[in-house]
Structure 1
Amino acid sequence: MSKSKQIVNERELTANQFTNVKDIKGNFLFSKDGYLFGYLRVFPYNLDLLAIDERRIRTQNLSLSFEGDRKDFDYCAFPRELDLDDYKNYLKKQYQGELSNYGKRQILAIMIRQAAELSSSGENYEHHHYFKIWARAEKNINDTKKELLTRLEEFKQRYSGVGIDAEILNETEIFKLCNLFTNSQQVSFMSLADNPVITPIPMIKDY
């Protein structure tokens, strides 16, 4: 088969054929080449609120918890566009109801302008942080699930041990992550029930 013919065939592939995903069920994504993937979301934490010594101690403790664990996981971050409509509507209602306190009314007016500028500037994004952990599926798939879930719990404990919230993604959240990977504008308000026609494009395993 010629190279040009191969390129044409690749372009004709559907999204489901192109991606390496067989199924998403429970806490796992099943790949076509025999791997299971689990995902952990790490929530934002403001280190600037800590004293310098406390910041150093927590950073060192987290780094040490990863010592010797360098296998079969990736760290990734994706930008997500924020939907500020509810926030802007809330500010407007507060502004309209605040008739007696002139100073508070002026502050609300400033906040409304800032929210409008943020929406129109294209900078209304926040980053979501994830760990992707995988294991090859063995003959007893339940053993592989147990092994992967144990690793996810260990990663979660590493962060909770230094005061940072983290969660293991369930089936719904994995689908949302897949949407976030491909379409940051839709993940805020799009779910499987909202649009069953569109199949999200899950993450492709890196080699």
Structure 2
Amino acid sequence: MTDVANYRHFSIEAVVPAGWGALGGGRDLIGTCAVKHRGYWDDRLCSVGSLALADWIMEHQELVAKPKLGTHPLNSGTMIERVLIGDVLPSDEFALALANMTEGVVLPEMFGQIEADTTSSASQALGADEKAPAAAPVSPCQDAAPVPSDDRTAELPPLGALGGPLPSGRLFHPIADSRFPQGFVLTGCGMSLCLDESTAKAMQAALADGIAHIQHVRRAGLAVAA
């Protein structure tokens, strides 16, 4: 049986009857959701995605309270609550919808990352006047692919069949990422690419060349058939 509760609009009153004023921030929102669904809150470490989503909800109270049309993620109230407390991980489609809703503040991969434990023994070992070494900046485009050799044919993976039916709707989505103001994240078909203007234009040119090649092959085939 379908759980129709998942399709009610997210409402703060459904979590805490006293409303927004009873919450001090995103972590409080997670805690009250946990008490509602589990009966307790042990202040466990949360995923980076859950914290980012909770903070976004608290910062956009008026927007969250407005009715939403269609398949807007905030129309899945129970699902939002369970995602916040980590009972479930959002599906790829739901995670993408959250990324679009928050304009890149909450990204799919964040739900697989656990927040840093600031109470760990390593943190406690630092003196009062000592500071932990600053973490190296992490680029959204880290782990770049190695430069291919001249003989690239042998390195290519086996090709799958082309021309199969495509799912309805848009296949690719550009998402603004607040951590990467000079670019955007392109997601779709199981991949996620972080692009700036120059790399996006380079990809655009390569796609144009590839499409021109397909069209050339198609025209040649039609000429032979004629």
Q: TM-score, normalised by structure 1?
A: 0.22
* Larger RCO (CA within 8 A; separation ≥ 6): 1
Q: Which has the higher strand share?
A: 1
Q: TM-score, normalised by structure 2?
A: 0.20
